[in-house]
Structure 1
Amino acid sequence: MKCSGPAPLDRVFSALVPVLGIFLLNGCSSLGYYGQLAEGQWQLLRARQPVEKVLADPASSAQLRVRLEHAEQARAFASRHLALPDNRSYRVYADLGRPYVVWNVFATPELSLQPVTHCFPIAGCVAYRGYYQKGAARGAAALMRQDGMDVYVGGVEAYSTLGWFDDPILSTMLGWGDERLATLIFHELAHQRFYLQDDTAFNESFATFVEQEGTRQWRAARGLAATDDSQAGQREQFTRLVLASRERLQGIYAGPLDDAHKRAAKQAEFARLRREYREVRDGEWGGDKRYDAWIYGPMNNAKLLPFGLYDQWVPAFAALFREVGRDWARFYERVEALGRLPVAERKAALTRLAGSL
């Protein structure tokens, strides 16, 4: 299962709250955990209906029909023009009757940014556990806190099973704008097109590039102007602030201070992050408070984990796309070839591509 996170922080947090697998399970966790995964997935599968059936149902609201019609146009564009899988995913709809489809639980040690990982046969090792019930996620988080861990719980509005099932458009996704809904379809279908086990930065950067370039082509095909880059610039700047804070924390935790002084330095670093955010928000951003809820909420190591995963290699994939003459089929062939390289060689190749911009 590959999840995409919530919309409240726009593309920043929805991109950065993860998105990793809890599908096809191994035998090293409790049967209760596996049971709730199986039951939750089964309930979602049972809730699916073909989009054409929903559109034809007189009980469907006019708003729902408009959103689904737009989504289906984007879905057709994805296969015809972006060479993404032509299957039943995002051609079915499921009304879940709740705000999130799953809740993900992230954890780290108190004085470390090393995530507690969980390994699964298809998705590989991932930095969280997913729960279909909010209460179950909170219960798991509470047990980890009792063990002295830093813990963060994030709601997720959509996920992909990487092509193992016909993934539906979910009712939890319909609060997004039409373009955000289209970009999610492009992103998740990219994961179905290629997914590399145990390399989250590669997978998310690849899918993010497909999403961005696909959206650009989608807008051009409809005669729309290019998107305003101001919000993207804010997202990038916000992400840089968090990554810089995370880097400083890494130095604190690896340094010679005793634990008491490390705890004090950790809290001072979070205060610095908030201060630097306020300076940017009230200066360059003209008081835009879109990230206030996140930055002023409870802060710990686990909350910082997802940042940077989605964007690290986007410039490399952009350069690769140009190298192949913007030909999607050739692009995917080259992506697959990169995925076959050993880790060190793959990172070196991506670094060279990124430097060629």
Structure 2
Amino acid sequence: MIRPLPSHRLLDRVFRILFPGVMLLLLNGCSSVSYYSQLAGGQLQLLRAREPVAEVIADPNRDAKLRTRLAHSQKARAFASEQLHLPNNQSYRLYADIGRPFVVWNVFATQEFSLTPQNHCFPIAGCVAYRGYYSQSAARGEAAIQRLQGMDVSIGGVEAYSTLGWFDDPILNSMMGWGDERLTTLIFHELAHQRFYVKDDTEFNESFATFVEQEGTRQWRAFRGLPPDTDSKLKQRDQFIELVLNTRSRLEKLYAQPLPVEQMRERKAAQFEEFRRDYRLIRDSQWAGDKRYDAWVKAPLNNARLLPFGLYDQWVPAFAALFRQVGGDWVRFYAEVERLGGLPVAERKAALKALTEAKSFSG
């Protein structure tokens, strides 16, 4: 039986692992003391809030709905390790109520005429395409500073994140607002990050975890005797993502042109209007007027708001093709993913592109 680490050992790990890394960055001048202090404080708060899921489930004084949801989550957690060959540790066998709807708020930023994210580097995760804040107000403050510098900026709340196995990640109250299946997909996704992670390649890491999430959920449904999910909402999601990615592609071609600034701005705005027209057309002709994405589409659009789509979905077809090539064998799949992750960046992207094209050709 796996037992949670005693609280004193958890705190020892915080000071032994997290704080030396923070101090190293501060000594190298990578960022301000205040930013890394809030990172350390936020992670420490999360660690202190954890409690074993089994104890919550067994406590009749706790909310009945919470206990039921957590019981369901533990079945999915066991499936993740036993069937999907994801890490078998204490992650997501603990629960933490942090008293807010999101665990962090990520700030994405790009230049005005670029879809290349402003990267930030950290001792554990390497370089990623966003900067995280445990306070929404702090995230808004950072976004305001970036806007004053002429950047395109977007803020996104995050329900969960992975510490890549450095700590035992808990199920958070911020994950409980979704249905049981969405909670399951989050667990699969975050455990995939623990299974394999390449520093400095957000697109690779997020696409890999998204594929594991999607294929794992399909197998989880089959395991429980449920039919494949043919929910029209999933089809709508995929169509919406395709619209966004097509817009990204058009913008990338636009930004490669040597145009005057004002003309570039006009054409950039025109591309976003074309996206809105395409969205309304597909919404009204194929979705029976379903307006689930209306608020997102009607809000001000910029490069940064498009970033999460490309980061999380760009190489999903490539990983799907790879999974098919190894006959759906998870162990062989992970071995091939590790091989790809070990390639130089240019070779890795070329291999992923070839896999994507092979999947498109085969249908």
Q: What TM-score, normalized by structure 2, do the two folds share?
A: 0.88
Q: Which amino acid aligns with 1:198?
A: D
Q: 1 or 2 for the larger relative contact order (CA 8 Å, sep ≥6)?
A: 1
- In structure 2, C-alpha distance between the alignment counterparts of 1:163 and 1:237, rounded to whole Å: 34
Alignment of 1:94-105 (within 5 A): 94-105=96-107
Instruction: Please state if 1:113 is matched with 2:115.
Output: yes
Alignment of 1:276-355 (within 5 A): 276-354=278-356, 355=358
Instruction: Please state if 1:255 is matched with 2:281.
Output: no
Work out the percentage of aligned pairs sharing the same amino acid: 68
Structure 2, unaligned runs of 5 or more: 1-19
What are the superposed Cα offsets for residues 120-139 of structure 1, whole Å, 9 maximum, x if unpaired?
Answer: 23322212111101111111
Which residue of 2 is the match for residue 7 of structure 1?
Answer: none
Structure 1, unaligned runs of 5 or more: 1-22
Instruction: Answer whether contact 2:129 2:202 (CA < 8 A) is retained.
Output: no
- Secondary structure (helix, strand or coil) at the match of 1:159 reads coil
Once the 2 structures are TM-superposed, how far is the Cα of residue 323 of structure 1 from its aligned partner? 2.9
Which residue of 1 is the match for residue 14 of structure 2?
Answer: none
- Secondary structure (helix, strand or coil) at the match of 1:306 reads helix
What are the superposed Cα offsets for residues 187-212 of structure 1, whole Å, 9 maximum, x if unpaired?
Answer: 11111011111222222222122112
Instruction: Answer whether contact 2:207 2:314 (CA < 8 A) is retained.
Output: yes
Once the 2 structures are TM-superposed, how far is the Cα of residue 24 of structure 1 from its aligned partner? 5.2
Once the 2 structures are TM-superposed, how far is the Cα of residue 331 of structure 1 from its aligned partner? 1.7
Distance of aligned partners of 1:93 and 1:257 in 2 relative to their CA distance in 1, 3 Å threshold: same
Which residue of 2 is the match for residue 18 of structure 1?
Answer: none
Instruction: Answer whether contact 2:128 2:201 (CA < 8 A) is retained.
Output: no
Instruction: Answer whether contact 2:91 2:169 (CA < 8 A) is retained.
Output: yes
- In structure 2, C-alpha distance between the alignment counterparts of 1:278 and 1:225, rounded to whole Å: 31
- In structure 2, C-alpha distance between the alignment counterparts of 1:250 and 1:326, rounded to whole Å: 34
Q: Which amino acid aligns with 2:286?
A: E
- In structure 2, C-alpha distance between the alignment counterparts of 1:326 and 1:111, rounded to whole Å: 41
Instruction: Please state if 1:130 is matched with 2:170.
Output: no
Aligned residues: 335
From 257, 271, 274, the counterpart of 2:273: 271
Structure 1 vs Structure 2 CA RMSD: 1.8
Once the 2 structures are TM-superposed, how far is the Cα of residue 237 of structure 1 from its aligned partner? 1.7
Residues 64-73 or 237-246, more deviating: 237-246
- In structure 2, C-alpha distance between the alignment counterparts of 1:264 and 1:63, rounded to whole Å: 51
- Secondary structure (helix, strand or coil) at the match of 1:152 reads strand
What are the superposed Cα offsets for residues 63-105 of structure 1, whole Å, 9 maximum, x if unpaired?
Answer: 0011000001100111111111000000000011111111111
- In structure 2, C-alpha distance between the alignment counterparts of 1:321 and 1:244, rounded to whole Å: 25
- Secondary structure (helix, strand or coil) at the match of 1:196 reads coil
Distance of aligned partners of 1:332 and 1:114 in 2 relative to their CA distance in 1, 3 Å threshold: closer
What are the superposed Cα offsets for residues 174-193 of structure 1, whole Å, 9 maximum, x if unpaired?
Answer: 01010111111111111101
Q: What TM-score, normalized by structure 1, do the two folds share?
A: 0.89
Instruction: Please state if 1:43 is matched with 2:42.
Output: no
Once the 2 structures are TM-superposed, how far is the Cα of residue 287 of structure 1 from its aligned partner? 0.5
From 239, 244, 258, the counterpart of 2:246: 244
Once the 2 structures are TM-superposed, how far is the Cα of residue 253 of structure 1 from its aligned partner? 2.8
- Secondary structure (helix, strand or coil) at the match of 1:283 reads helix
Which residue of 1 is the match for residue 157 of structure 2?
Answer: 155
Distance of aligned partners of 1:241 and 1:322 in 2 relative to their CA distance in 1, 3 Å threshold: closer
What are the superposed Cα offsets for residues 298-351 of structure 1, whole Å, 9 maximum, x if unpaired?
Answer: 211211112222233223322322333322222212211221222233233333
Distance of aligned partners of 1:316 and 1:245 in 2 relative to their CA distance in 1, 3 Å threshold: closer
From 164, 173, 195, the counterpart of 2:175: 173
- Secondary structure (helix, strand or coil) at the match of 2:309 reads coil
- In structure 2, C-alpha distance between the alignment counterparts of 1:190 and 1:342, rounded to whole Å: 21
